[in-house]
Amino acid sequence: MLAQILTALLAIVIAVGFSLLYFAGTNWILDKSLADRVNPDGTEVVRAKQRESIRPWLFIFPALLLLTVYLIYPVVETLRLSLYDGAGSAFVGLANYAWAFQDAEYLQAVGNNLLWLAIVPAASCGFGLAVAVLADRVSWGVIAKTFIFLPMAISFVGASVIWKFVYDYRGPDADQIGILNALVTTLGAEPQAWVTLPFWNNFFLMVILIWIQTPFAMVIFSAALRGIPEETLEAARIEGANEFQVFFRIMLPQIMSTVVVVWTTITIIVLKIFDIVLAMTNGQWDTEVLANLMFDWMFRGGGDFGRGSTVALTIMIAVIPIMIWNIRRFQKEEGMR
Amino acid sequence: MAMVAGGAKAKLGRFAAHAALATLVLIWTIPTLGLLVSSFRDKDQLIVSGWWSALSSSEQTAFGRTGTAADQVEQGGQFVIEGDFLGDGQPGAIATFGESQRNLEAFTAGETAALEDGTEFLLNEDGTYRWTSEQPFEHERGERIFFISEVPPIFTLANYVEVLTAEGIGQSFINTLTVAVPATIIPILTAAFAAYAFSWMQFRGRQILFVIVVGLLVVPLQMSLIPLLRMYNGIGEVFGADPKSYLGIWLAHTGFGLPLAIYLLRNYIGSLPRELMESAKVDGATHFDIFTRMVLPLSVPALASFAIFQFLWVWNDLLVALVFLGKRPDQIVLTSQLRELLGSRGDNWEILTSSAFVTIVVPICVFLALQRYFVRGLLGGSVKG
Amino acid sequence: MRTLTLPTMASVLALSVASGAAFAQSADDIVFPIGEDPRFNWESLDRFQEMDLSGEEVTVLGPWLGPDRDLVNSVLAVFEEATGADVVFAGSDSMEQQIVIDFQAGSPPNVTVFPQPGLAADLAAQGALSPLGDEMQEWVLENYAAGSSWVDLGTYPDENGDPQFFGFFYKVDLKSIVWYSPENLEDAGYDVPTTMEDLIAVSEDIAANGETPWCIGIASGDATGWPAPDWVEDIMLRTQPPEVYDAWTTNEIPFDDPRVVNAIEIFGSFAKNPDWVDGGVAAVGAIDFRDSPRGLFEVPPGCYFHRQASFITSFFPEGTELGVDADFFYFPPFEAEDLGNPVLGAGTLWAISNDSPGARALIDFLTTPLAAELWMAQSGHLSPHLGVNLDAYANDTLRRQGEILLAATTFRFDGSDLMPGAIGAGAFWTAMVDYVSGEEAADAAAGVQRAWQSLQ
């Protein structure tokens, strides 16, 4: 164990050292090889311009290289593989897409992903906003926010364990150790094996993601709400608006753009949801989602890269509108700068 | 009158706000609290009673096996077998007992029971028993006596000791650290230089390249898995090395984290005062000097917020680790180990809860200690454009 | 740039590899001191003691975790001790996925332990496995009871379509058995059922008395659902001749054939009967198979019967004495069907997925009687090896299972393991999960058939 800690430390030193060496070294080489010099005839050659046209590339080269290798090339390659057979060797045209659209499991995954998209961003934003607004009105708001904040640091797998324990099921004769079934039985109803109830179990899995994403929404909305001038709110109140009117007519419109950003961010996370489903049900009991289905096709029963890539591309296609919107928004803001 | 009504209404509103917030706080904390409490409970109690009743004693049903004919002694014409069902040091007190599993409350502890075969059986609260018979005992296998016992709450660190050693969580903890630290530092350095170039240097294609970075922010990393696996395979062959290495996963996390890193850092570095750069330039400083001597130190808050972000992301990642690291004991990370346990230890909640707590304790500490930076990073990433 | 990068890259790579080697956990402690226990064929070890494999690392990927991992490590430790090799065993309950990831990444373990021949066949067809050779095939034919069936189960077409012998069976499980507590059954006043009709009558009786006859749990993490196909297969063998069973596992008769649907429905008459299963029908899908026998040992008993393969004893509560606290009986045939005594079994298949002298030596070691005896003497391990000392079996229970294995009039391998991976380790499981959660048997079966067709 000590050896591994030392290795890790050494690796950090090497990684940092190598990065610094690269940046410092290439800059030094550039300065030396394109240094200003004095010709024999006494004229001075200033090559600052050449140097400065090369230097930016030295700065961004490692980043560009990594982005190309780890993100751009894979997108192109996945697109190509989706047109090939399972082994990635024979061209099959659109056969994988044809398969997808008549495969019950794929359609179920698309349906479930849509369900997640409809609910998780809305619920997370709703709860996040509720906490942000309520916490401003009570003296213990900061403490409340800290508590609600915590799940954000918990991994999806960790959260799955936590909630699996909440949903734990024992037969009706036994004492329940899952708190949800304990509540249900206290109220006189039959205990349920929550994650195995088709259709409804999707919601029980979604609760986990909402639980993790609400703090994120809360933090951002808190900051945005703080940006609303107090006078605006006071003016509305003096004119006789009640708190609900103040919220819906003044606050919400003011922070609408923030809501949209948070909504989109959570939407992307939902599209990629994988860990929770893998850990809770592995897609059984009709809870399949695209990312888990892709993982299954990639690595189950010998692996089928064609179908796996096709499923992955579905996620990519769903993300493209968001990507375009993101770029537009960015360009608009750059223009304003 | 209207004033009073308004006041009451406001009071009611305030009460509703308190109640609503309190409910939300409960929903957001109770699941984790349950995990924490359960991880310290005795495993036998954990499976029979809910964690919310951890402080009250629990009732357990069990059986004890008596001694055999070989253990009998003759005392005053009677044949006696004596023993102890609760063993030494085992906590708890026997409440009732019976000869049949269908009637565990037939006799109360301390009472001498007449068994069906005519023998007499005395079982005390502390588990000691005395079985007497007029005839010599002949059985070769002990009889079962069933009982209900009250066991006081037991809290223990044994679950943690077990998961940290036998279940491999300790080793995984180190593995995760080995992944997370370099995978946090490398992207920061790489991104900082790029962000500076995008902010303060002039070159062709600057805008379009940055737009690409913004586009890459949302690319699902699922896309990358298959192509990268194949590429690592090729590289591994060239160097004759294992394609599943820590270097491989550091670079993968670096690649996946770079768009956000560049984006966040450019926002920050780009907002540093222009005069600062220009006065430095007048003094003859090169971009490299400006970056290392001025920009880097000034950007520490932004670097810190990204570092926390990336650290948490890497620490909590499962998918990338599943694909780019093996499941060997010296490579398996915490999330992956925890998922294995979820699959292999099914209902062993004492193992699951304590393992889960080990995996979340570091991110929670990092998070609480550096909350301010983290929030700033979040805001920079999503609110500012 | 280039001159700078390559050496640094290489050194970091080397470093991370080295760190792996330095960290390789060696197998756990040896349980039986070498050469001591007279029940074991220690002379098997001689030729391995002459080998010097020190410094050689042999990586093994297998399905075992928890107690099973300790058991396999205790066998591997003897090999390590004799040869000096360093065996690193990695266990994963999702090894079906892990081996494919490892193979695609070009970093397969030296030796892979497959719980399913179907998956091994898939990988063999992709060139991922190295043939064990004719000599080994001969050896299995001569030294294993029913050797040819074991050879057939381990022979698949390679990437060129030529059949080769790839998989060596080490550790066989008997599936057609029902576990029970002899004392509880006796207290309740029943005898051990010897026909299926009997078993059903006893179950009805127990339920009528307000108790629960069966414990069934099919959850298993990623592999949730797998115990259910075992039931269906066992019932297939008890309602149809073996030829129909064979045709079913190769899809010559469709999965939604009425004969298959009938078998699924008979399984349902146990598992979907709320009065027959501990915790109710909902518990069948929710309870982990490793925890499902727990009801046998509860006070009062949660259930009386538990149908599961021989390996389940590893998951019985600590201190359970086999043959006394828990025992088994043969899952009986229908008297009315007159199909003899069919037996369903399974086994783990060891194959070389990354050839090395160490890997060859390890497989060679597993062919020795000693390797089988070391595990047999501890827990659920049956061996078809004719040369093993039967006295080495840890208890009579295991020995009797060995006898059932050898006395079967029909022996068939777990059918879901023979189906293509995507069916036998995927669609079939999911269908059974859906069936237990309420779907009709015919619909569930039709779903599997559709999935099978989409593969072809």
| Nearest by Cα to C349 from C188, C163, C113, C81 | C113
**Whether the predicted pLDDT of B14 surpasses 50:** yes
How far apart (Å, rounded) are the C-alpha atoms in residues C225 and C408?
27
The answer to whether the Cβ–Cβ distance between B287 and A52 falls below 8 Å is yes
**Whether the predicted pLDDT of C323 surpasses 60:** yes
Domain limits, chain A: 2-81, 104-336
Residue A58 near residue A30 (C-beta atoms within 8 A):
yes
Q: What subunits touch chain C, counting only 3 or more CB pairs under 8 A?
A: A, B
Residue A237 near chain B (CB below 8 Å): no
What is residue B148's three-state secondary structure?
strand
Mean pLDDT of B12-26: 88
**Structural domain includes residue C15:** no
Least confident of A51-60, A255-264, C15-24, C446-455: C15-24
Question: What pLDDT was estimated at residue C320?
Answer: 85
**Structural domain includes residue C406:** yes
**Whether the predicted pLDDT of B382 surpasses 60:** no
Q: Compute the C-alpha angle B339/B342/B343, nearest 5°.
A: 90
For residues C3 and C330, the model is more confident at C330
The answer to whether the Cβ–Cβ distance between C119 and A302 falls below 8 Å is yes
The answer to whether the Cβ–Cβ distance between A71 and B318 falls below 8 Å is no
Element (H, E) at B130: strand B128-133
- In A81-100, the residues whose Cβ lies within 8 Å of chain C are 87, 99
**Structural domain includes residue C22:** no
If you search the block for the tokens 């192109």, which residue do you land on? Answer: A76
Identity of the residue numbered A113: N
DSSP A115-145: HHHHHHHHHHHHHHHHHHHHHTTSTTHHHHH
- In C256-315, the residues whose Cβ lies within 8 Å of chain A are 278-280, 282-283, 285-287
- Residues above pLDDT 90, as percent of chain A: 32
- In A10-49, the residues whose Cβ lies within 8 Å of chain C are 10-11, 14-15, 18, 21-22, 25-26
Smallest CA–CA separation between B186 and chain C, in Å? 14
What does the pLDDT look like over C79-91, one tens digit per residue? 998 898 999 998 8
What is the DSSP code (8-state) at residue B290? I
What is the DSSP code (8-state) at residue A68? I
Q: In three state form, how does the secondary structure of B284-323 look? A: CCCHHHHHHHHHHHHCHHHHHHHHHHHHHHHHHCCHHHHH
What does the pLDDT look like over C45-71, one tens digit per residue? 888 888 888 888 999 999 887 778 888
Task: Find the CB nearest B346 among C13, C90, C219.
Answer: C219
**Whether the predicted pLDDT of B247 surpasses 90:** no
Identity of the residue numbered A194: W
The answer to whether the Cβ–Cβ distance between A301 and C426 falls below 8 Å is yes
Question: What pLDDT was estimated at residue B292?
Answer: 85
Indicate if C195 and C147 belong to the same structural domain.
Answer: no
- In C410-449, the residues whose Cβ lies within 8 Å of chain A are 420-423, 425-426, 429-430, 433-434, 437-438, 447
The answer to whether the Cβ–Cβ distance between A158 and B360 falls below 8 Å is yes
What is the DSSP code (8-state) at residue A286? T
Q: Which CATH number fits domain B160-382: 1.10.1760.20, 1.10.3720.10, 1.10.150.120, 1.20.1300.10?
A: 1.10.3720.10
Residue B4 near chain A (CB below 8 Å): no
**Whether the predicted pLDDT of B156 surpasses 60:** yes
Architecture of domain A104-336: Orthogonal Bundle (1.10)
A to C CB pairs, distance under 8 Å: 115
Mean pLDDT of B94-119: 86
What is residue A296's three-state secondary structure?
helix
Residue B17 near chain A (CB below 8 Å): yes
Question: What pLDDT was estimated at residue B66?
Answer: 86
Mean pLDDT of C164-189: 91
If you search the block for the tokens 């989109």, which residue do you land on? Answer: A264
- Residues in chain C with CB shorter than 8 Å from the CB of B144 are 183
- Residues in chain C with CB shorter than 8 Å from the CB of B344 are 65-66, 93, 221, 290
Task: Find the CB nearest B258 among A67, A151, A219.
Answer: A67
Q: What subunits touch chain B, counting only 3 or more CB pairs under 8 A?
A: A, C
The answer to whether the Cβ–Cβ distance between A130 and B24 falls below 8 Å is yes
If you search the block for the tokens 């800690």, which residue do you land on? Answer: A5
What does the pLDDT look like over C277-315, one tens digit per residue? 998 888 898 888 888 998 999 888 999 999 998 878 878
The answer to whether the Cβ–Cβ distance between B242 and C17 falls below 8 Å is yes
How far apart (Å, rounded) are the C-alpha atoms in residues A88 and B147?
64
**Maximum distance among all Cα pairs of chain C, rounded to whole angstroms:** 84
- Residues in chain C with CB shorter than 8 Å from the CB of B234 are 106
Task: Find the CB nearest A153 among B177, B220, B360.
Answer: B360
A to B CB pairs, distance under 8 Å: 335
| Nearest by Cα to B196 from B282, B313, B293, B311 | B293
Q: What subunits touch chain A, counting only 3 or more CB pairs under 8 A?
A: B, C
Task: Find the CB nearest C225 among A103, A174, A284.
Answer: A284
Mean pLDDT of C323-339: 89
Residue A185 near chain C (CB below 8 Å): no
Closest residue of A to C282, CA-based? A193
Dihedral sign for Cα atoms in the order C357, C359, C360, C361: positive
Indicate if C216 and C147 belong to the same structural domain.
Answer: no
Domain residues for the domain of C43 are: 31-174+346-413
User: What phi and psi, each to the nearest 5 degrees, are found at residue C21?
Assistant: -65, -40
The answer to whether the Cβ–Cβ distance between B233 and C219 falls below 8 Å is no
| Nearest by Cα to B149 from B208, B109, B198 | B109
Indicate if C396 and C356 belong to the same structural domain.
Answer: yes
Question: What pLDDT was estimated at residue B89?
Answer: 61
Indicate if C212 and C326 belong to the same structural domain.
Answer: yes
Sorted by sequence, the CB contacts under 8 Å of residue B83 that are 6+ apart come out as B64, B66, B67, B71, B128, B129
Residue A165 near chain C (CB below 8 Å): no
Indicate if C315 and C249 belong to the same structural domain.
Answer: yes
Residue C450 near chain A (CB below 8 Å): yes
Smallest CA–CA separation between A163 and chain C, in Å? 14
Domain limits, chain B: 58-152, 160-382
How far apart (Å, rounded) are the C-alpha atoms in residues A210 and A213?
5
Question: β-pairing, C155-157 with C306-307?
Answer: unpaired
The answer to whether the Cβ–Cβ distance between C291 and B347 falls below 8 Å is yes
Residue C158 near residue C125 (C-beta atoms within 8 A):
yes
What does the pLDDT look like over A176-196, one tens digit per residue? 889 999 999 999 888 888 888
**Structural domain includes residue C18:** no
**Structural domain includes residue C264:** yes
Closest residue of B to C315, CA-based? B345
Cα distances from C6 to residues A63, B235, C181, in angstroms, run 18, 12, 66
The answer to whether the Cβ–Cβ distance between C187 and B101 falls below 8 Å is yes
Closest residue of B to C302, CA-based? B101
**Structural domain includes residue C191:** yes
- The per-residue pLDDT of chain B, averaged, comes to 84
HSE-CB at C167 with a 13 A cutoff on CA atoms is: 32
Task: Find the CB nearest C279 among A103, A171, A198.
Answer: A171
What does the pLDDT look like over C104-160, one tens digit per residue? 777 789 999 998 787 888 889 888 899 999 999 999 888 887 777 788 888 989 888
Q: What is the radius of gyration, based on Cα positions, of chain C?
A: 23
- Residues in chain C with CB shorter than 8 Å from the CB of A172 are 279-280
Smallest CA–CA separation between C435 and chain A, in Å? 10
Task: Find the CB nearest B356 among A69, A158, A327.
Answer: A158
Question: What pLDDT was estimated at residue B5?
Answer: 52
Closest residue of C to B248, CA-based? C13
Smallest CA–CA separation between B101 and chain C, in Å? 5
**Whether the predicted pLDDT of C15 surpasses 70:** no
Indicate if C100 and C238 belong to the same structural domain.
Answer: no
Task: Find the CB nearest C425 among A87, A286, A301.
Answer: A301
Residue A246 near chain B (CB below 8 Å): no
Residue B351 near residue B159 (C-beta atoms within 8 A):
yes
Indicate if C112 and C83 belong to the same structural domain.
Answer: yes
**Structural domain includes residue C146:** yes
Cα distances from B180 to residues A9, A244, B307, B316, in angstroms, run 12, 45, 10, 9
Structure tokens that stand for C192 in this block: 């051990």
